[in-house]
Amino acid sequence: MSATSGGIADAVAHAHVIVVTGAGGVGKTTTAAAIGLAAARAGRRTLVLTIDPARRLAQALGLEALGDTPTRLALDVGPAGGTGRVAGELWAMMLDMQTTFDRLVERHASGPEAAAAITSNRIYRTLSSTLSGTQEYMAMERLHELHEEGGWDLLVVDTPPTRSALDFLDAPRRMTTFLEGRLLSLLLRPGLAAGRGIGRVVGAGATAFMRVAGKVTGMELLEDLAEFFRGFEGMYDGFKRRAEQVLALLSRPESRFVVVTSPEPLPLREARFLLDRLEQEGLHAAGVVVNRIRPELPRDPSDAALERAVAALAPAGRPAGAEPDAAGDADGHAAEDAAVAGALRLLGDVRRVAARQRRDVAAALPARQGRAVVEVPLLGGDVHDLEGLGAIARRLTGGA
């Protein structure tokens, strides 16, 4: 079983990397922003990085937009929700996949001219923005860049929905596998690397696609492919080392994962699946956040009497045997009785939903998982400022 580490509050106080992941639409981005705010208020210099292009992180932080350069937020809201000085810092940014890939190429290319040849290549420009898993790998690359730069106490990573989050975990290994694959070895064979025998390589059976493409578009496409793969020759070891470094960073005890879900069956199943995957990989889960759960409404001795009153209300809205003083008075009492009955039924429905949600959570996330489960109650609206985030941050770290 992967190591547990004192829950989310402990991760906020001591972790260096927190990866926030979960199904779509469960409040994952808001949770990532709240974790970042909690860490900043605890005196840590914190950066929240999102790889989700939907710009929800900027909205949650009350910003118009975010870019690849970290943006510092003015933290003038104190821990209790009022104004006050905050000891730490909160920064936020959104991944620019193309810029990150370009920097990766520049780092591992043999020189500036070789890097420029690759980054200006048409095949590279297409593959770097459309190849499956590239976004997740570039997020890992950007995370490692920020880790190497130093100066950050905590890096919080907001990932896309769960299936992409699994790609996020797989991306470094998948890149290594690609670089070790037979197709790349074929395309980097000495004849191609030297710029000779493009037609011979194609004729030898590189792929049927390349043969057809050569006939349809001429040799220009094949020359672009040859130039692209020639440029990558010699970069294999650098890419492989980086992938291994990223995996090592994620595996450290100071790197923690927070799984976010809602109390509905499908997101709960995905959360359990992701927890099992983290366990298999030996990664460190800080806990599970169950967002938008109905609050448990306390019962008191008068509840039973009120519920009996609902059943006692006559169809006309008055208790049996009551004599109205006048027609208008009767109508008024009927309306009042109907309103009281409706409110009591609604109260009962809310309590039943809350109980069902907690049964579903307990079934999907059993205690044997050994994970701290934090409930964040359903709010009256979306969170779009630091004050709203502060309330969630206190909940995540054990506050009221």
Q: Is 48 helix (H, G, I), strand (E, B) or coil?
A: strand
Residue 144 contacts residue 261 (beta carbons within 8 Å)? no
pLDDT tens per residue across span 328-382: 566 666 777 778 777 777 777 888 888 899 999 999 987 655 468 999 988 777 7
Residue 16 lies in a domain: yes
With a cut of 50, say whether residue 302 has pLDDT above it. yes
The answer on 345 and 261 residing in a single domain is no
Tokens at residue 82, please? Answer: 């009022």
Based on the structure, what is the number of domains in the chain? 2
Residue 233 lies in a domain: no
The answer on 112 and 72 residing in a single domain is yes
pTM: 0.77
With a cut of 60, say whether residue 325 has pLDDT above it. no
Q: What is the pLDDT of residue 81?
A: 45
Residue 1 lies in a domain: no
Phi, psi of 59 (to 5 degrees): -65, -40
Residue 67 lies in a domain: yes
The answer on 333 and 272 residing in a single domain is no
Measured distance CA(255)–CA(246) in Å, rounded: 11
The answer on 330 and 260 residing in a single domain is no
The answer on 153 and 84 residing in a single domain is yes
The answer on 359 and 287 residing in a single domain is no
Phi-psi region of 207 (alpha: psi -120 to 50; beta: other; left: phi over 0): beta
The answer on 355 and 243 residing in a single domain is no
* CB environment 61-100: b (16+ within 10 A), e (fewer): beeeebeeeebebebebeeeeeeeebebbbbbbbbbbeeb
In the structure, what pLDDT confidence band is assigned to residue 121 with cuts at 50, 70 and 90?
A: confident
Residue 34 contacts residue 258 (beta carbons within 8 Å)? no
With a cut of 50, say whether residue 389 has pLDDT above it. yes
- With both helix axes pointing from N to C terminus, report the angle between 97-108 and 236-251 in degrees, rounded to the nearest 10: 120
The answer on 248 and 359 residing in a single domain is no
With a cut of 90, say whether residue 90 has pLDDT above it. yes
Residue 216 lies in a domain: no
Q: What is the pLDDT of residue 163?
A: 61
Measured distance CA(22)–CA(261) in Å, rounded: 6
Residue 281 lies in a domain: yes
The answer on 354 and 253 residing in a single domain is no
The answer on 40 and 13 residing in a single domain is yes
Measured distance CA(377)–CA(263) in Å, rounded: 10
The answer on 375 and 332 residing in a single domain is no
DSSP 230-250: HHHTT-HHHHHHHHHHHHHHH
Residue 228 lies in a domain: no
pLDDT tens per residue across span 135-183: 777 888 899 999 999 999 999 999 877 566 567 777 766 766 665 655 5
In the structure, what pLDDT confidence band is assigned to residue 132 with cuts at 50, 70 and 90?
A: low
Tokens at residue 318, please? Answer: 């008055």
Mean pLDDT of the chain: 77
Q: Please tell me which of 104-113, 117-126, 150-159, 224-233 the model is most confident about, judged by mean pLDDT.
A: 150-159
Q: Which of 110-118's residues contact partners 24+ apart within 8 Å by CB, and which partners?
A: 110/234, 114/231, 117/227, 117/231, 118/228, 118/231, 118/232
Name the least confident of 33-37, 275-279, 301-305. 301-305
Q: What is the pLDDT of residue 70?
A: 93
Q: What is the pLDDT of residue 204?
A: 46
Residue 286 lies in a domain: yes
In the chain, what is the straight-line distance between the N-terminal and C-terminal CA atoms, in Å? 31
Name the least confident of 33-37, 47-51, 134-138, 257-261. 134-138
pLDDT tens per residue across span 206-255: 455 555 555 545 456 667 777 777 777 667 777 778 888 888 999 999 99
The answer on 312 and 266 residing in a single domain is no
Helix (H), strand (E), coil (C) string for 172-197: HHHHHHHHCCHHHHHHCCHHHHCCCC
Domain residue limits at 341 = 302-364
Measured distance CA(207)–CA(391) in Å, rounded: 57
CATH number, domain of 165, equals 3.40.50.300
Name the least confident of 97-106, 112-121, 138-147, 319-328. 319-328
